[in-house]
Amino acid sequence: MATYADPLALVDTEWVAQHLQDPKVRIVEVDYDPASAYHLGHIPGAVLFDWRKDLNDPVRRDILSKEAFEALNSRAGISNDTTVVLYGDFRNWFAAFAFWIYKYYGHADVRLLNGGRKKWIEEKRPLTEEVPSYPPTTYRAQDPDARLRAHLPYVLNVLGKRGVALVDVRSPAEFTGEITAPPEYPNEAAQRGGHIPGAVNIPWSKALNDDDTFKDAESLRRIYEEAGVTPDEEVITYCRIGERSSVTWFVLRHLLGYPNVRNYDGSWSEWGNTIGVPIER
């Protein structure tokens, strides 16, 4: 069986269980809703990153700044040479988003827990409500790696160009414009439904097994190549707010080794609200 292109980007639950006391490893739970996840019980020693508060700019719509990323890691006792293991709620969506941010700011060793929070709990591995604290560090981030991210003008500029594949990882109903966002998330709604012209719809969850672990490399390769998304192209992934697309970004970039993959984190909540941009239904 073919292995993943970057096997170190993924760890399994047993690996984490063996490294709970490892001072070189910091486990981070990344939640959208910590009240129904981290605060009910988490992997012993895991610190919490609250996606809304910790990984986004508090004022403008953007991911956290380089300085805020440095402060966040310093507070969590993470050094530049720490192995950071990410997992979280909502089937690892926000953990994958955090993984993308770690790569964006150049952290050397970051890994995703295969199967995430759900698999850890399903296996009845230990949980605690105890919130750990670690001695603060002085973390230094790299300058952002702009090759990993697409902004709206960039996407507009490559529309219709050969050699660029846009992958819409949302549900088919979102892709066709039948829905824009569930009523529970009014701030993620868009004025218009549909998709970016030329995008192919490959829902993020196609990459996962029932237990939330990733499918093997061969199966993954088939899914994307059969949809016409190949490693020789530049690939841009998007969803509604950039978290589900981080999962697909992770799969293409780190599990399949596609060399040129960007996450368009503005995603549909930006595109579908922007006046004048082209839309397909």
Partner 1 sequence: MARIVRTVDLRAGIELCTDSPIGRVQQALAGLGPEEAVAVWVKGYADEFTVTAWARRNGYAVLEVQREGEEARILLGVSPELEKEM
Residues 234-273 that bind partner 1 (CB under 8 A): 240
CB of 135 to partner 1, least distance (A): 30
Name which position in 136, 182, 228, 278 contacts partner 1 (CB under 8 A). 182
117 binds partner 1 (CB under 8 A): yes
Interaction between residue 232 and partner 1 (CB under 8 A):
no
Main-chain dihedrals φ then ψ at residue 71, nearest 5 degrees: -65, -40
Contact string 183-212 vs partner 1 (x = CB under 8 A): xxx-----------------xxx-------
Nearer to partner 1, 103 or 119 (CB): 119
Query: Could you say whether residue 31 binds partner 1 (CB under 8 A)?
Result: no
**Which of 16, 63, 169, 239 does the annotation list as catalytic?**
239
Q: Which of 143, 132, 82, 140 is nearest to 111 (CA)?
A: 82
Distance of CA 107 to the CA centre of its chain: 15
Residue 91 binds partner 1, judged by CB under 8 A? yes
Q: Are strands 110-113 and 164-168 parallel, antiparallel or unpaired?
A: unpaired
Among 90, 249, 258, 264, binds partner 1 (CB under 8 A): 90
20 lies in the binding site for partner 1 (CB under 8 A): no
User: What is the H or E stretch that residue 31 is in?
Assistant: strand 25-31
Binds partner 1 by CB under 8 A, chosen from 37, 46, 47, 236: 37
Strand-pairing partners, residue 10, are: 112
Distance CA 137, CA 109 (A): 16
Q: Which is nearer to partner 1, 107 or 117 (CB)?
A: 117
Closest to partner 1 by CB, 103 or 116? 116
Positive/negative CA dihedral, 64, 70, 72, 78: positive
Which of 39, 52, 140, 222: binder of partner 1 (CB under 8 A)?
39
Using CB under 8 A as the binding rule, whether residue 71 contacts partner 1 is answered as no
Alpha helices, DSSP H, located in the chain = 13-18, 51-54, 66-75, 89-104, 116-122, 152-158, 172-175, 217-226, 244-250, 267-271
Task: Count other Cβ atoms within 10 Å, centred on residue 215.
Answer: 16
Collect all residues with Cβ–Cβ distance below 8 Å to 90 and sequence separation of at least 6: 31, 32, 33, 243
Q: Which is nearer to partner 1, 124 or 162 (CB)?
A: 124
The neighbour count for residue 33, using CB atoms within 10 Å, is: 15
Region binding partner 1 by CB under 8 A among candidate stretches 4-12, 32-40, 99-107, 230-238? 32-40
Nearest to 129 by CA among 231, 54, 43: 43
Residue 203 among the catalytic residues? no
What are the residue numbers of the active site? 239
- Contact residues: partner 1, CB under 8 A: 33, 35-37, 39-41, 90-91, 117-119, 121-122, 124, 170-174, 179, 181-185, 203-205, 240
